[in-house]
Chains A and B, each alone.
Chain A
């Protein structure tokens, strides 16, 4: 899934969508995932990266990533 190009993400987890004017807050792990998305990682690459640095099972991160993506598209933050 790809984020809209012009979305600004700060290290503190603040997101601003300049095309809609909406802003969002993300927790640290979501911020990390969003940054991966921006640098063009595939879902598989994201899952592997998260599993490398966090104590988490594959099934959990898969479900959660799917959920995050549904939120992102719900907020119209994806292309």
Chain B
């Protein structure tokens, strides 16, 4: 006798990055994709760092929210908080969504799984470190991908010395954030001073690649296979350089490059590639973000619910490997004012739960 269609499981999934502000975290788009998953139902646990993260108050998207300690408080504190949350909830899966927290969550991965039953799909510490901006040039060399030539500098004297071998303009980049273009030696030193004062040493001097910036949102299955990849071109950016609108494009070369990189690095989990395409059709890798980007809901809209696939990888279910997506799908971000009662703010502030 043929069995009836199996009942869908219901997973409790925790998500960080609820800061849906003008430079948004990917938490809210991840939740929207989860809600649209066809292979499971979800109960969403939001994890917030600050009491004013908008996602906390989107009660149609999050079932319960807990405040969690900042990454700087250390992994012990985070684990203790999870132990508490797990005494109330039954979290099956966790989506870390911030670069700054990933380091700690990667370190906690095994402990969270073994002791609390919380699963994650995250890159290994080695994958995470080697794609770091300061190691990227080496990374590109190792994996046969073009990366703008770059060198690390630690003093203004070194800037001048290193510039002898470089052509202007160059990009001066901070260790974590910030990038400025310099056309002269003096400008480069000025930028170096500013950036090193704010973000510390070393500072990166990078070859400037003129061209069009393209982004890819994708997922690797940890065994070298690409689960999905959707390329996007930004159509409009904010003064902070964040995409405000973008469109899915077809670019076979870019997908091939993505597939190659995933195969080479055995990348595990979601990622975003930032790539420069030059006029003569060369692709330079600018950055790899080890998590979903804030625009990841576009992949769901274009026919690849990559977020759903990530959960299925983590839960050991059958995974859909996407081959197609719709081109010409746009995302246009908008701001929306919610009206919230003071007592909700009070609850999350005082009790750390809402």
A residues apposed to B, CB below 8 Å: 10, 12-14, 16, 23, 25
Contact = CB atoms under 8 A, between A and B. Distances in A.
Contacts of B350: 12-14, 25
Interface residues of B, number: 6
Contacts, number: 16
Interface string B315-354: 0000000000000000000000000001001100111000
Contacts of B349: 14, 23, 25
Contacts of B351: 12
Interface of B: 342, 345-346, 349-351
B248 to A, nearest CB: 42
Closest 6 CB pairs of A and B: A14-B346, A12-B350, A14-B350, A16-B342, A25-B350, A13-B350
A69 to B, nearest CB: 23
Nearest to B346: A14
A48 to B, nearest CB: 29
A13 B349 CA distance: 10
16 contacts: A10-B346, A12-B346, A12-B350, A12-B351, A13-B350, A14-B346, A14-B349, A14-B350, A16-B342, A16-B346, A23-B342, A23-B345, A23-B346, A23-B349, A25-B349, A25-B350
Contacts of B342: 16, 23
A12 B349 CA distance: 10
